[in-house]
Amino acid sequence: MRVLIVKMSDLGDIIHALPILSYLHQASPGIEVDWVVEEPFRELLEGNHLLAMLHTVRTKAWRKAPLARATRREMAGVKAALGERKYDIVFDIQGSLKSGLVDRFTHCGKVIGLPSELLQEKVNLFFTTRQIPTRRQDFHVTDQCLRVVSVPFGRDFRGMTLTTEIRTSPEDDAGAEVLLSTLSDGLVFLCHCGAAMETGFWYDEGWVSLGKSLLALHPDATLLFSWGNETERGKVIGFAAAIGRGARVLERSHLKGFTALLKKVDLVIGGDSGPVHMAAAVGTPTVSLYRAGNGKRSGPRGEHDVIVQAPLSCTACFRKQCDKDDHCRRSITVGIVLMAVGKIYGVKEFL
């Protein structure tokens, strides 16, 4: 059997869907699984031994110049490559117009997708031949993806041991080791202050106070700050300067190089962001801070992952803007975050 997974973006959503690969190979030994992904996120999937083929698309570039010769040539190439594979089943767990167009490219007669209430865009319904309803217990986004994929195979994913993988090269791993060799011998904490929307950020003074507290408890530790854009870079440079010795801003790295570093640090702290989900996927302990988002729905679920949800009655509101945003940020105190770190390490010194 040959199947296609259509999950093209974004970074965190792709990571949530990774257990699908483990499920499919357990449910149907010998199966071939392909995946369609947006070009910026292809490194998440490259080298994964559970994938037979990876198809990349550039829909943002295509939308900017839909009639350009290069666009038409690229789209025709993707269409031909997908059609040649002759898939038995296509699983569309993106649920959008762009994923629907990819579904159509495959010419597959069995395209299985998400139920209407979970779609990014309702027009996706016109491209799928069957929509799989989720169950009440499928609250987490990973379980929702697994439900869609598992129903045709008649084997429930619950009770199965499912793994995730983001493959890094020996060169990537060596580069991470070189960076770590320049640090002190203590614990290495990586903090990522970025978020997808304004109501996902923590407050600036909180990061500075947290950094000072961690280094006061562990003077030989190092605090690394990662960033995703120039605005975030400016922020973390200020954080590191305010914290002083022991704090360091990372240089930009390609996705696999950054993943290699995430595998080797001791703890990652951040909001609902790609780096936190990447760290959890490769087995590094995480503390994730949730305000407008719902940590129970999309947070890491590993044994060494701790979710901190804002302690307000209106938390998990999913609003992109809010008049109480500053109050919400500060409702997650530094003490609460330190308690979360203490849960991971099982030591009272963090409390």
Q: What's residue 346's pLDDT?
A: 77
Residue in 21, 66, 61 with CA at minimum distance from that of residue 40:
61
Task: List pLDDT tens digits, range 318-340.
Answer: 999 999 999 999 999 999 999 99
**Letter string b/e over residues 211-249, b meaning 16 or more CB atoms within 10 A of that residue's CB:** bbbbbeebeebbbbbbbbeeebbebbeebbeebeebbbb
Instruction: Return the CATH fold of 2-153.
Output: Rossmann fold (3.40.50)
Half-sphere exposure of 56 (CA within 13 A, CB side): 10
Task: List pLDDT tens digits, range 52-86.
Answer: 999 999 999 999 999 999 999 999 999 999 999 99
Task: List pLDDT tens digits, range 84-122.
Answer: 999 999 999 999 999 999 999 999 999 999 999 999 999
d(CA 194, CA 278): 14
CA 13 to chain centre: 5
Q: Is the domain covering 170-350 a CATH 3.40.920.10 domain?
A: no
d(CA 340, CA 210): 12
Q: What is the mean pLDDT of residues 254-269?
A: 97
Going by pLDDT thresholds of 50, 70 and 90, the confidence category of residue 234 is: very high
Give, in order, the Cα–Cα distances in Å from 299 to each of 18, 42, 119.
14, 22, 20
The pair of three-digit structure tokens given for residue 257, joined into one six-digit string: 């190089």
Tell me the whole-structure pTM to 2 decimals: 0.94
Q: What's residue 345's pLDDT?
A: 83
Dmax over Cα atoms in the chain, in whole Å? 63
Give 225's strand partners. 191, 249
Q: What's residue 89's pLDDT?
A: 98
Going by pLDDT thresholds of 50, 70 and 90, the confidence category of residue 349 is: low
DSSP per residue, 110-148: -EEE--GGG-SSGGGGGG-SEEPPPPTT--SHHHHHHHH
Going by pLDDT thresholds of 50, 70 and 90, the confidence category of residue 191 is: very high
Burial class (CB in 10 A: 0-12, 13-18, 19+), 67: exposed
Q: What is the mean pLDDT of residues 111-134?
A: 97
The pair of three-digit structure tokens given for residue 207, joined into one six-digit string: 């990061």
Contact 344, 350 (CB under 8 A): no
Q: What's residue 196's pLDDT?
A: 84
Whether the pLDDT of residue 200 is over 90: the answer is yes
Sheet holding 222-226, edge to edge: 247-249, 222-226, 188-192, 267-271, 286-290, 305-309
**Letter string b/e over residues 32-59, b meaning 16 or more CB atoms within 10 A of that residue's CB:** bbbbbbbeebbbbbbebebbeeebbbbb
DSSP per residue, 57-95: E-HHHHHHSTTSHHHHHHHHHHHHHHHHH--SEEEE-S-
Q: What is the mean pLDDT of residues 221-249?
A: 97
The pair of three-digit structure tokens given for residue 218, joined into one six-digit string: 């562990």
**Same fold yes or no, 2-153 and 170-350:** yes
Mean of the per-residue pLDDT values of the chain: 96
Give 120's strand partners. none
Give me the residue spans of the domains in the chain: 2-153, 170-350
d(CA 246, CA 270): 18
Task: List pLDDT tens digits, range 154-176.
Answer: 999 999 999 999 999 999 999 99
Q: What's residue 169's pLDDT?
A: 95
SS3 191: strand
Going by pLDDT thresholds of 50, 70 and 90, the confidence category of residue 351 is: low
The pair of three-digit structure tokens given for residue 22, joined into one six-digit string: 């483990």
Half-sphere exposure of 239 (CA within 13 A, CB side): 31
Whether the pLDDT of residue 348 is over 70: the answer is no
> Parallel, antiparallel, or unpaired for β 130-131 and 188-192?
unpaired
Q: What's residue 61's pLDDT?
A: 95
Q: What's residue 139's pLDDT?
A: 95
Q: What is the mean pLDDT of residues 141-146?
A: 97
Contacts of 163 (CB under 8 A, 6+ apart): 19, 22
